Amino acid sequence: MKKKNKVIVNLSALANIKSGRQQRPGLRILLMMFSLVCAAASVQAQPQGMLDRLEKPAHKAVKAAESSLNSLALAGDRTVVVGERGHILWMDGADNHWRQADVPVSSDLTAVQFVDENTGWVVGHDGVVLHSQDGGESWSLQLNGHQIAALHEALAGVLSASGDERSAEKLSFGADQGVDQSLLALHFSDANHGIVVGASNLALETRDGGASWSVISHHIDNESGLHLYGVVEALGALYVLGEQGLILKKNPQTATYHAVKSPYRGSWFGGIGSHDRLLAYGLLGNTWVTADGENWLKSDMNSSVAITSASSVSATDLVLVSLNGEVFYSNDGGKRFETQALGSQYPFYAVQAKDSETLVVAGLNGVKIIKINKDEEYP
Amino acid sequence: MIKEAVDLGKDINESFDADSGSVVEKIVFSNRLVLVLMTLVISAFMAYVVVDKLALSASYEKMMPQNHEYVVNYFEHSDELSGLGSALRVVVTNPNGNIFDAEYIEQLRRINDDLFMVPGVDRAWIKSLWSPAVRWTEVTEEGFRGGPVMPSTYDGSAQELEKLKLNIIRAGVLGELVANNYHSSMIFLPLLDSDPTTGEALDYAVLSKRIADVRAQYEAEGLVDIHIVGFAQIIGELVAGLSEVLMFFAVAILIISLIIFIYTRCVLSTALMISCSLIAVLWQLGIVSLMGFSLDPFSVLVPFLVFAIGVSHGAQKMNGIMQDIAVGAHKLVAARMTFRRLFIAGLTALLADAVGFAVLMLFDIPVIRDLAVAASVGVAVLIFTNLIMLPVLLSYTGVSVSAAKRSLKEQTDSPSAFSLVGLLVKLQVFTKRRWAVSALLMAAVLVLIGYTTSLDLQIGDLDEGAPELRPDSRYNQDNAFVVQNYSLSSDQFAVIVKTPTDSCMNFAALDAMDRLSWELEQLPGVQATQSLAAAVKQITSGGYEGNPKWLTLSRNQYVINYGAQAASVNNQDLFNVECSVMPVVAYLADHRADTLNQVTELVQVFADQYNSDEYEFLMAAGNAGIEAATNQVVSTAWRQMHLYVYLAVAALCFVTFRSWRAVVIAVLPLALTSLLAEALMVVLGIGVKVATLPVIALGVGIGVDYALYLISIQLAGQRNGETLAQAYYRALAFTGKVVAVVGVTLAVSVITWAWSPIKFQADMGILLAFMFLWNMVGALVLIPALSHFLMGDRHFFKSVKK
C-alpha cells in the first residue's frame, strides 16, 4: 500500500509540473483520468497486502445492520442508512428487514440524502461521493479523494495565475492532503444542484447531478479552515454549520458564504430547517432555534451531551437524538423538548421520522425502529 | 476327572525337573529369597521417596503444545503480550447492595492488596477499580480531561462515591471491570508463566491455594461474596477435589479386593495379589518422583490404571497356581509351571500396555508426555511385581487347598450350569459356524452403528465453563455468574499482528487489523473484539469533540500517532514498546471446539490472503488461542496414536503367537471396542482432549491382555492337536474365567466414579467401565467366532498333516 501511495505522490508531482507550465481547460479531466489509471495500476502492482478502502468493495457483512451507522434518509417509502466500512443498507416500509447495498468502496460513510425515491447521494471519508439511481440498491463512485486533490491542484494553479496567491496557497494545502479528504455533510436542492462539505473547509459543488464537481472552498468565509459538519436549507437560504460555533449563510447572488453571528461558541454537529425556522444542535446538549436567522433561543431541554441528529415529524413536531442514546421530542417547533423513555443506552448518531409514530434511529451499535411516545416523560 | 487330575498332579511333582524351564525362570526361582528381600528394601526406599518427594503440581505452560505454530508464536511474543497469558478474574460482589458502598470499596481495596502480594501474579498489569492504570477520559469543548477511575481524593464519602460512579461510566469499564448491574466489580489478575523467585514454571496448585485462602478470609468476614474464574482456578478446583478422587480410588481398590476374595475364597492369595499391585503403584510413584516428575490432575489417574492392570495379571497368575495346586502339585512346582505357561503372554500383554502408553509421547504436550512416562514406568514395574514377584511369593505361601479344589471342580467336563465356568463354557458354541456367523454379523452391525455415531466425535471442550467439573460445581456457577453480569467473556483469542519495528502505527497495518476485527465480529461465536485500530478510531472521534462522523481510521499519521499514544495511556496492552507487535483480541462466547475452529479458519484465510512485508497476522495468544492449538495437536495425534498403538500391539501379538491369523483374531475385537468407545464419548458429550487420552490408550492395553491370555491357551491346545471347540473350552476354563472375573471386577470398581463430584472422574469412570466390560465380552465372544473362520480345525489339521 505504501508503494501505491508513492506512485500517487509521484503522479501528483508530475501533474504539478504540467499544471505549472500549461493550464489547459481539459487538465482537470486529464488529472482525474491519471488518478483513475494510477488506482487501477496499483491494483495490479500490489501482489501482497490488502486493497485500499477506496478500491475494495464494501464487505457484505452479517452484522452490517449492527455496525456503527452515521446517517439516515428517506427515499419514498424506503429508508436508507449509511455508516462505517462502506455500509449502505435499506429497508422498505418499516419491517426492520435491512438489506445491504452493493457499494464499490469500503470507506467510512458519513451522510446520505435522497431528492426523490430513486435519486440519492452519499458522502464519506477518502473524499467519496456515491450516487444511486435505483433507490439505494446500487451505487457508483462519482468522486474520490485523489480526484478532489487533483481538483484543488488545478484550481490553485488557476488562482495563482490570476494573482490570488492566498487562496491558491490554501488550495495547494488541500491538494497536499492527497486522498485524505473527509466529506462530512451534503445537501442537494434538486437532482442536479448539490454541495458537499467536510474537514478543514473542504467544499465542492455540482450543477449536473455529480457528473462534474468544482471546488468552492475559496468562496467560504472560514479563515481558520474549521471543519464543516452540516448544510441546511432554512428560512429561504442555505446555511453551513461547523466547528466552534461557525454558521455560514450563502449569498445567492455572489454564490459566496458569509459567517453570521452565532449564539454559541462550541461546535455545531448539524442543523435542521424549514421555511420558518433554523434549528442548530451540537456539543453539551446545545440546541438553539431561530425564526429570522438573527435572534436565537436556547431550547428548553434536559441534556448534557452532544446532540447528533434531528428529524421533522410534522410542521411543528421535531425529534433529536444524543450520544447518550436519548431521544427528545418537541411539538412546538423546537422551543421545548421532552425526553422520551427509552430502553436502549447506546450512542445514537442519526434519527429519521418515518411517520407520526415511528422513528428509525441509528448509532454505534446499528439501526433500529422505535415508537414515539408523546405522553410519557422520562422519569 | 478329579481323580485323574490328582494323579496327574502327583506325576507333575515327581516328574518335575528343577533344571527345566527357561533361563529367566531358573534365575528367578533359584534366587527367591534374594528377590523377596530386594523387593522389601526397594519398597521401603520408594515409600520414603514418595513421602519425601512426591508433589502435586500443575502449570499452564506444561499443558501447551510446545512446538505448535500458535504456541511458538505466543512464546516468542509473550513478553509483549501482557494480559493475554493465563489470568484469573476475581469478582467481588456486594450481597447487600451495589458497589457504591464505602464498606464494599474498602473490602475491595484489601482484597486487591492481598491478591497483589500473591507470588506469580503479574503485578504491573493488575486491573481493578483500585488500579491507577484504570483511567477515564472525557471530551469537552477544550479537549480531553481524565484521571484514574478511583478518585485520588477518595475518602469513602457519598460525594466521592458519586464521583467514582461517574468515572466508571466515563471510563467505559461497565461490563468489563464493573458488572452491568453495579452489584460487583472485577479484579483482573494476569499470571506469570514462571515463578519470579525460583524461575520454575508457575505451580497452579500452590497459586490457587493462596488465592483460595484470600477468598476464604474475606468471605468469612461476610461483607462480600467472591467468584473466581480462569484456567488456574479450574486446576485449583481439580487439585482441591483430589482427596475425593483418591477416596474413589480407595473404594475401587476395596471393591476389587472384595470381589477377588469372593471369587477365590483365599485371604492370603488375595492379599498377596492386591499387595503386589499396590507395590507396583508405590514403585511407580517413587521412580517418577526420582525422575523429577510430579502428579497433576490429569496424571493422577495413572496409579489407578497401573493397579487395575496389575490386578488383571495377578489374577491370572493366582488362578494358574491354584489350578496346579488343586491337582496336587507342590506350591513351588505350581508357581513355576504357571510362570512357564503365562510369563510370555503376561510379558507381551504388559509390553503392549507399555507401548500403548508410550505412544502418548507422540503428543507434543508436556503433561501428556509426563503421563506417558509415568504410565510406562508403572507398567514396566508390573512386569517385576506381578509377573515375577507374585509367583515367587505364591511359591512360598501357596493357596488354600480347599479354594483350589473348588476352582478345579468348575473345570470338570460337566460343571454346574450355575457356576461361573458353567456359564462361561457355553460360549464355546461361538466356535460353531451358525453362532460364529451371527456373532460376526452382530459385530458388523455394531461397527456400523459405532462408526456412524463416532463421526460426530469432537475435539476439545463441548460445553461452556469447565467441562472437567460438574455443571453445578462452584467454578461453573462462578463462570455462569461472570458470563451473566459482564459483557466481556474470559475466553480470549488473540491474533498477533506483527509489523517491522516502529511501524505498528502505519495506516496500512491498522486498516488491515481493523478489517480483521470486523470480520471476526461477524462470527456468531465472537462477542466483541479489541484492537489498537479500534482504540485509535475512538480517540480520533474523541479528538474531534466526540463527533461520530470522525469515528474513522484517519490516513493522517499525526492523528494516528496521537490516537495510539492516548489509547496506550488507558490500555498498555494495545502495542509493544518497539511498536511492532499488537494483538487483535476476540472475546468468544465460549471455548467450544466449534467456536475455536470458526476463529482459526477465518484468521488463517485472512492471513494467507493479506500477509505482506508491512504486516503479518500470527496466531495465537489468549487462553482460547492456546486451546485452539491444543485441539489441533490432539486432533492430528489422535489417529496417529491409534495407528501406532495397533501396530505395536499387532507386532507384539505376532511375536507371541507366530501366526498372523491369531493376530487378526486378537486385534479386531479391540478395534471394535475403540470404535464403540468413541461412539460412547459422543453419546456422553465428552470431547477428545488431554484428559481423555490416557483412557483410550488404556482401553487398548487392557483389551489385549484378555486376548493374549485366551488365545495363548487356545493356540497351545490347537497346536497339540485339539479341535477348536476343545481348545477354546480349555482356554475358557483356565484363563477365560479370570478374564471374565477381572473384566467385571474392574468395571464394577470404576463405575462408582460416576458419583464423583469431579465430572472428569465420572466421565472416566463410565468410559473405563465400558471398556473393561466390552473388551471382555468382545474377547470371549469374538475370539471363538473369528477363530472359526481364521483358525478353524481344517487349518490346523492341514498344517498338522504337513
- Higher model confidence: residue A373 or residue B650? B650
pLDDT value, residue A101: 95
Q: How far apart are CA B642 and CA B699, in angstroms?
A: 11
Residue A341: pLDDT band (50, 70, 90) is low
Is residue A21 situated within a structural domain? no
pLDDT given at position A82: 97
User: A228 — contact with chain B (CB < 8 Å)?
Assistant: no
**CA dihedral sign, ordered B277, B279, B282, B284:** negative
B768-771: which pairs have CB atoms within 8 A and are 24 or more residues apart?
B768/B695, B768/B698, B768/B699, B770/B676, B770/B677, B770/B680, B771/B673, B771/B677, B771/B695, B771/B698, B771/B699, B771/B702, B771/B703
pLDDT score at B87: 84
Whether the pLDDT of residue A43 is over 70: the answer is no
Q: Give the list of residues 6+ apart from residue B373 with CB closer than 8 angstroms, or none.
A: B288, B291, B293, B361
**What's the rounded mean pLDDT across residues B412-416?**
56
Judged against a pLDDT cut of 50, whether residue B334 lies above it is answered with yes
Residue A226 included in any domain: yes
Distance between B485 CA and the closest CA of chain A, angstroms? 16
pLDDT digits (tens, 9 = 90+) for B142-195: 566 778 889 888 888 888 888 888 888 777 788 888 998 889 999 999 888 777
Banded model confidence at residue B3, pLDDT cuts 50, 70, 90 = very low
pLDDT (0 to 100) of residue B601:
93
- Longest Cα–Cα distance in chain A: 69
**What would the mean pLDDT of A49-74 be, rounded to a whole number?**
91
Residue B673, classed as helix, strand or coil, is: helix
Percent of residues, chain B, with pLDDT higher than 70: 95
pLDDT in tens, A200-252: 999 999 999 999 999 999 999 998 999 999 999 999 999 999 999 999 999 99
Residues 6+ apart with CB under 8 A from B177: B127, B128, B129, B134, B168, B185, B186, B188
pLDDT band, residue B518 (cuts 50/70/90):
very high
Position A375 confidence tier, pLDDT thresholds 50, 70, 90: low
Is there a domain that residue A206 lies in? yes
Å between B140 CA and nearest CA of chain A: 8
Q: What is the mean pLDDT of residues B93-103?
A: 90
Q: What is the pLDDT of residue B143?
A: 62
**pLDDT band of A253, cuts 50, 70, 90:** very high
Q: Does A9 touch chain B (CB under 8 A)?
A: no
Answer whether residue B520 shows pLDDT above 90: yes
Is residue A165 assigned to a domain?
A: yes
CB-based contact, A1 to chain B, within 8 Å = yes
A234, part of any domain: yes
* Main-chain phi, psi angles of A309, to 5 degrees: -160, 155
> Residue B216's pLDDT band (boundaries 50, 70, 90)?
very high
What is the pLDDT at residue A289? 96
Question: Which residues is A240 bridged to in the sheet?
Answer: A231, A248
Cell of B518: 470486523
With CA atoms as reference, report the closest residue to A229 among A245, A240, A221, A219.
Answer: A240
What φ, ψ does residue B121 adopt, rounded to 5°?
-85, 135
Q: What is the pLDDT of residue A27?
A: 46
A275 part of a folded domain: yes
Write out chain A residues lying below 8 Å of B522, CB-based.
61-63
pLDDT confidence of residue A120: 96
Query: Which residue from B141, B554, B614 is facing A1, i.e. has the nearest CB?
Result: B614
Which of chain B's residues have a Cβ under 8 Å away from the Cβ of A186?
A: none
- Interface contact flag, A70 B548, Cβ < 8 Å: yes
Q: What is the pLDDT of residues B470-496, one digit of tens each?
A: 888 889 999 889 888 887 777 889 999
A285 has a chain B CB within 8 A of its CB: no
Q: What is the pLDDT of residue B292?
A: 86
Q: How confident is the model at residue B363 (pLDDT cuts 50, 70, 90)?
A: confident
Best residue in A6, A8, A50 for a mutation probing chain B (most B CBs within 10 Å): A50
Residue A155 belongs to a domain: yes
- Partner residue opposite B612 with nearest CB, options A48, A67, A243: A48
Taking an 8 Å cut-off on Cβ atoms, the answer to whether A48 and B507 are in contact is: no
If we measure between CA atoms, which residue out of A343, A357, A15, A71 comes closest to residue A230?
Answer: A71
**Residue A195: what are its φ and ψ, rounded to 5°?**
-130, 140
User: Stretch B33-46: mean pLDDT, rounded?
Assistant: 92
Question: How many angstroms separate the CA atoms of A165 and A157, rounded?
Answer: 9
| Residue A344: per-residue pLDDT | 55
A59 to chain B: closest CA residue: B519
- What angle (nearest 5°) sits at the alpha carbon of residue B584, between those of residues B582 and B587? 145
> Domain residues for A175?
56-371
* Domains defined along chain B, listed by start: 1-63+241-409 (1.20.1640.10), 87-229 (no CATH), 420-455+659-802 (1.20.1640.10), 479-622 (no CATH)
Which residues partner with B616 through β-bridges?
B498
Give the predicted TM-score (pTM) of the model.
Answer: 0.81
Distance, in Å, from the CA atom of B255 to the CA atom of B741, rounded to the nearest integer, reads 13
Q: A297 with A329: CB under 8 angstroms?
A: no
CA distances from B788 to A39, B422, B434, B660, B737 (A): 78, 22, 10, 15, 20
Distance set, CA B79 to CA B76, B193, B238, B581 (Å) = 8, 10, 29, 11
Query: Do the beta carbons of residue A136 and residue A114 sit within 8 Å?
Result: yes
Euclidean distance between CA atoms B725 and B107, whole angstroms: 78
Q: Look at chain A and report how many structural domains it folds into.
A: 1
Range with the largest mean pLDDT of A109-118, B14-23, B662-671: A109-118
Write phi, then psi, for A221 (nearest 5 degrees): -85, 75
Q: Cβ separation of B518 and A59 shorter than 8 Å?
A: yes
CA B94 to CA B83: how far, in whole Å?
A: 26
A225 touching B, CB under 8 A? no
Query: What is the dihedral angle through the alpha carbons of A217, A220, A225, A231, rounded to the nearest 10 degrees?
Result: -90
| Alpha-helical regions (H) of B327-429 | 331-358, 366-382, 390-397, 401-409, 420-425
Pick among B138, B513, B518, B547 to test the A interface (most A CBs inside 10 A)? B547
Nearest CA in chain B to A58: B515
B324 vs A105, which has greater pLDDT?
A105
pLDDT exceeds 70 at position A11: no
Check whether B34 has a pLDDT greater than 80: yes
Q: How confident is the model over A314-324, as pLDDT tens digits?
A: 999 999 999 88
Q: Which residue has the higher pLDDT, B359 or B273?
A: B273
Helix (H) / strand (E) element for B217: namely: helix B204-221
Residue B299: DSSP 8-state: T
Check: CB of residue A334 under 8 Å from CB of residue A277: yes
Average pLDDT, chain B: 85
What DSSP string describes B144-190? EEEEESS-TT--S-HHHHHHHHHHHHHHT-BTTTB-TTSSEEEEEEE
Q: Is B553 helix (H, G, I), strand (E, B) or coil?
A: coil
Which residues of B are less than 8 Å from A266 in CB distance?
A: 141, 545
Q: For residue B436, give the H/E element and its range.
A: helix B433-454
CA A280 to CA A269: how far, in whole Å?
8
B403: pLDDT strictly greater than 80 = no
Per-residue pLDDT, A377: 45
Nearest to B379 by CA among B351, B342, B343, B345: B351
Whether the pLDDT of residue A378 is over 50: the answer is: no
Q: What are phi and psi of A82, to 5 degrees?
A: -130, 155
User: Which among A2, A70, A284 has CB closest to B614?
Assistant: A2
Does residue A130 carry a pLDDT above 50?
yes
Q: What's residue B141's pLDDT?
A: 55
Mean pLDDT score, B357-384: 87
Q: Is the pLDDT of residue A374 over 70?
A: no
Residue with the three cell numbers 456422553: B684
How many Å lie between the alpha carbon of A209 and the closest alpha carbon of chain B? Answer: 24
**B200 CA: distance to closest CA in chain A (Å):** 41
- List chain B residues with CB under 8 Å of A125: 552
Which of A157, A196, A210 has the alpha carbon at shortest distance from A24? A157
User: What is the grid cell recorded at B186?
Assistant: 472485577
The percentage of chain A sitting over the pLDDT mark of 70, rounded to a whole number, equals 84
* Beta strands B225-229 and B581-588, pairing class: unpaired
Kindly tell me if the per-residue pLDDT of A19 is higher than 50: no
pLDDT bucket at A78, cuts 50 / 70 / 90: very high
pLDDT at residue B22 greater than cutoff 50: yes
A:B CB pairs within 8 Å: 87
A43 three-state secondary structure:
helix
DSSP secondary structure string for all residues of B715-749: HHHHHTT--HHHHHHHHIIIIIHHHHHHHHHHHHH
Flag if B549 and A111 touch (Cβ within 8 Å).
Answer: yes
Percentage of residues in chain A with pLDDT exceeding 90?
A: 68
Q: Chain B closest CA to A64's CA: distance in Å? A: 9
Residues of chain B found within 8 Å of residue A111, distances taken between Cβ atoms: 549
DSSP, collapsed to helix, strand or coil, labels residue A345 as: coil
Q: A290: domain CATH number?
A: 2.130.10.10
CA angle A41, A46, A51 (to 5 degrees): 90
Q: Do A180 and B554 touch (CB under 8 A)?
A: yes
Collect all residues of chain B within an 8 Å Cβ-Cβ radius of residue A59: 515, 518-519
Residue of A2, A63, A180 lying closest to B555 (CB–CB): A180
Residue A47 has a pLDDT of 41
Chain A: closest CA distance from residue B103 (Å) = 30
Residue A9 reports pLDDT greater than 80: no
> Taking a C-beta distance cutoff of 8 angstroms, is the pair B357, B379 a contact?
yes
At residue B633's C-alpha, the angle toward residues B630 and B638, to 5°, is 120
| CB B703 within 8 Å of CB B670 | yes
Check residue B572 and give its pLDDT: 74
CA A349 to chain centre: 13
Residues of B in contact with A324 (CB under 8 A): none
Q: What is the pLDDT of residues A87-113, one digit of tens each?
A: 999 999 888 999 999 999 999 999 999
A308 touches chain B (CB under 8 A): yes
pLDDT above 60 for B337: yes
Identify the band that residue A57 occupies on the pLDDT scale cut at 50, 70 and 90.
Answer: very high
Secondary structure class of B710 (helix, strand, coil) = helix
pLDDT of residue B664: 92
B660-687: burial string, b at 16+ Cβ within 10 Å, e else? ebbbbbbbbbbbbbbbbbbbbbbeeebb
Cis? peptide before A161, omega within 30° of 0 = no
Q: What pLDDT score does B528 carry?
A: 87
- Band of the pLDDT at B720, cuts 50, 70, 90? confident
* pLDDT tops 90 at residue B638: no
A218–chain B nearest CA distance, Å: 23
Q: Are A139 and A104 in contact (CB under 8 A)?
A: yes
**Does the residue A28 lie in any domain?**
no
Q: How far is B87 from chain A (nearest CA, A)?
A: 29
Tell me if A68 and B551 make a contact (CB, 8 A cut-off): yes
